[in-house]
Structure 1
């Protein structure tokens, strides 16, 4: 959840001032304990991504007016791709096959959005 929110803010899908759903709403939607959501929100608040307002919904912090530069968004993808590359090596798959699969998934997901 934390990573997903980071990516949504980085891409500009969530912008400054946009209110976040309540802890209870998110916990119910994701079928997780409310403390899990609360901890995630607190972590994002400590990072400066979200801001808490007493008695009101949390919202995206003011400094996130627009999408982050492309280079910063690419860096957010690096850990996931590094893990995928490690798994491809463990499975002894050729790089070309892994890249072809990634491209296929990327284009397939993009077409359905």
Structure 2
């Protein structure tokens, strides 16, 4: 089944981010071989050139690497994976804080709001 994409950003970046999320969430393990460009393009429902561009983006970030005639693999650099994971978390937290302040919460109250939510005390 084809993946779902939005029109807010280029498809290749959405694909790269999807694969990156699978890597940092350990769905795809360090050192694991990735499917071929053709196979993954077919799964995602995109042109192989789009998938190739996503892989090039991931290679430039160091998240994946190519071994000639063997395919592409996830980096084994666990420090890099952790760094990317923390960077994504920081981005998500900043987005959350911005949205919460827009709807009227004071930044100083957010930890209390989160604490109540995590404990299941919010309805």
Same fold judged by TM-score > 0.5? yes
1:76 maps to 88
Question: What's the Cα RMSD here?
Answer: 3.4
The 3-state SS of whatever aligns with 2:71 is coil
Distance 1:87 1:13, change over 3 A: same
Between the two proteins, the alignment pairs up a number of residues equal to 100
Q: Unaligned stretches of 5+ in structure 1?
A: 104-113
TM-score by length of 1: 0.61
TM-score by length of 2: 0.57
1:20-73 CA-partner distances (Å, limit 9, x unpaired): 0100001111111101000110111111110101011200012138962xx863
The 3-state SS of whatever aligns with 1:52 is strand
The 3-state SS of whatever aligns with 1:15 is coil
Q: Unaligned stretches of 5+ in structure 2?
A: 1-14, 106-113, 119-123
2:42 maps to 28
Distance in 2 (alpha carbons) for counterparts of 1:72 and 1:38: 21
Contact (CA 8 Å) 2:63, 2:81: kept in 1 or not?
no
Distance 1:54 1:78, change over 3 A: same
Larger Rg: 2
The 3-state SS of whatever aligns with 2:78 is coil
1:47 maps to 61
Distance 1:89 1:31, change over 3 A: farther
Q: Which has the higher contact order (CA 8 A, sep 6+)?
A: 1
